[in-house]
Homo-oligomer: A and B are copies of this chain.
Amino acid sequence: MTIFGESHGPAVGAVIDGLAPGIDVDMNFIASQLDLRRPYGKISTSRSEADDFSILSGVFEGKTTGTPVCIMIPNTAQKSRDYSATRTLARPGHADYTAYAKYHGFEDYRGGGHFSGRITAALTAAGAIAISALRGKGIMIGTHIARLGGIDDRPFGQSEADLNKDILILSEKRFAALDESAAEAMRSAVAAAAEDGDSVGGVLETAVTGLEAGIGEPWFDTLESMLAHGIFSIPGIKGIQFGGGFDMADAKGSEYNDPFCLADGKVRTATNNNGGINGGISNGMPLIFRSAVKPTPSIYKEQQTVDFMERKDAVLSIHGRHDPAIIHRARIVVDSVTALVLCDMLSMRYGTDWLAG
């Protein structure tokens, strides 16, 4: 998997190598996933692109061929305004300064360049194929906004059946809170922050059902390692925890350990504080993890900063379109990355043909 593109370049895209042959590629589903990632209503940026995508390779007669799939999404809505005035002012919380430190000034700085959230459109399109492939094998993925602006969503269902219902519900929501009144309160919190020229973050919670026991490697490619590796590539993610994680820092072993039990002859655990993973390997329970999403760094409030080329203090006011929250858009990216990582790990374990059925 390779991701390419810049916010204000000709296109963003992804190349996925190693996909099994014969996976159905549903163009409508890709389009609908891209749509869920797009800005939404008043609580999002006013930059809104149609996200027309082209599949340049690796798909033939509606199915993957087994060779690399290149998906390209042209950039059409970028404004050609002049970035030179603020080019050397490091936007706090953004990658302007670190990109400069890494690329020595050769980076495409317009609109965040390669660090723009725009790039996640490519991930989403690629992820849509992975999500479809996993569904075909009975593996379901869903993410909800577990917390935003101090408001908690209702928890995921406990049983696998209830979880699957929740995942289905989420797949049809533009704003992914399970409890509609919580959703309403969260949207109000975003709107309030927006009015204040400010932004919010929150916590996403992801569930994966239908994953068999035995996936993951003890050193160094545990299931937690691989998922964390992928999830931390998503801009704005600053934390991840599996099962109890930080929330159970004060728990005792007798509380945290998940006693094993049998259900329909299958090995299960009575609780799921380990988030479906023991010793880095899936145990057959639902995979549960939470990701911390920091508040969008682009705010309208005036901020202190420096001119990193001239090495002098500066004051920055950011204008233009941007999101007071990205968490409701990021959830589809988290689903996508999760699916891509799982496809990789399942192919490793069961061979390159497995996903094709």
Q: Is A142 an interface residue (CB 8 A)?
A: no
Q: How far is the CA of A283 from the CA of B299 in the complex (A)?
A: 20
Say whether B107 contacts A60, CB under 8 Å.
Answer: yes
Q: How far is the CA of A225 from the CA of B341 in the complex (A)?
A: 13
Say whether B106 contacts A64, CB under 8 Å.
Answer: yes
Q: 1/0 contact trace for A302-314 toward B, CB 8 Å?
A: 0111101001110
Q: Is A136 an interface residue (CB 8 A)?
A: no
Q: Is A165 an interface residue (CB 8 A)?
A: no
Point out the residues of chain B lying under 8 angstroms from A72, CB to CB.
56, 72
* Known contacts A229-B229, A242-B238, A301-B254, A65 near B306 by CB under 8 Å: no
Q: Is A168 an interface residue (CB 8 A)?
A: no
Which partner residue on chain B sits nearest A1 by CB separation? B220
Point out the residues of chain B lying under 8 angstroms from A226, CB to CB.
229
Q: How far is the CA of A303 from the CA of B258 in the complex (A)?
A: 9
Say whether B97 contacts A213, CB under 8 Å.
Answer: yes
Q: How far is the CA of A233 from the CA of B265 in the complex (A)?
A: 31
Say whether A57 contacts B12, CB under 8 Å.
Answer: yes
Point out the residues of chain B lying under 8 angstroms from A11, CB to CB.
56-57, 70
Say whether A98 contacts B281, CB under 8 Å.
Answer: yes
The interface size of chain A toward B, counting residues with CB under 8 Å, comes to 144
Q: How far is the CA of A261 from the CA of B308 in the complex (A)?
A: 10
A308 to chain B, nearest CB (A): 5
Q: Is A144 an interface residue (CB 8 A)?
A: no
Say whether B229 contacts A57, CB under 8 Å.
Answer: no
A5 to chain B, nearest CB (A): 5
Q: How far is the CA of A25 from the CA of B63 in the complex (A)?
A: 36
Q: How far is the CA of A224 from the CA of B98 in the complex (A)?
A: 14
A93 to chain B, nearest CB (A): 4
Which partner residue on chain B sits nearest A63 by CB separation? B106
A198 to chain B, nearest CB (A): 5
Q: Is A102 an interface residue (CB 8 A)?
A: yes
A292 to chain B, nearest CB (A): 5
A108 to chain B, nearest CB (A): 4
Q: Is A155 an interface residue (CB 8 A)?
A: no
Point out the residues of chain B lying under 8 angstroms from A229, CB to CB.
220, 225-226, 228-229
Say whether B193 contacts A219, CB under 8 Å.
Answer: no
Point out the residues of chain B lying under 8 angstroms from A66, CB to CB.
102-103, 106-107
Say whether B311 contacts A249, CB under 8 Å.
Answer: no
Q: Is A39 an interface residue (CB 8 A)?
A: no
Point out the residues of chain B lying under 8 angstroms from A354, CB to CB.
351
Say whether B240 contacts A228, CB under 8 Å.
Answer: yes
Binds B, one of A26-34, A40-48, A172-180, A199-207: A199-207
* Known contacts A115-B218, A224-B237, A292-B245, A253 near B4 by CB under 8 Å: no
Which partner residue on chain B sits nearest A203 by CB separation? B249
Q: How far is the CA of A210 from the CA of B329 in the complex (A)?
A: 36
Q: 1/0 contact trace for A54-94 toward B, CB 8 Å?
A: 11111010011111111010000000000000000010111
Q: Which 6 A-B pairs have the closest CB atoms?
A: A95-B279, A239-B241, A239-B245, A199-B253, A101-B213, A98-B281
Q: Can you give 9 contacting A-B residue pairs, CB < 8 Å? A: A4-B15, A90-B267, A92-B258, A93-B274, A98-B214, A98-B279, A193-B253, A200-B253, A251-B295
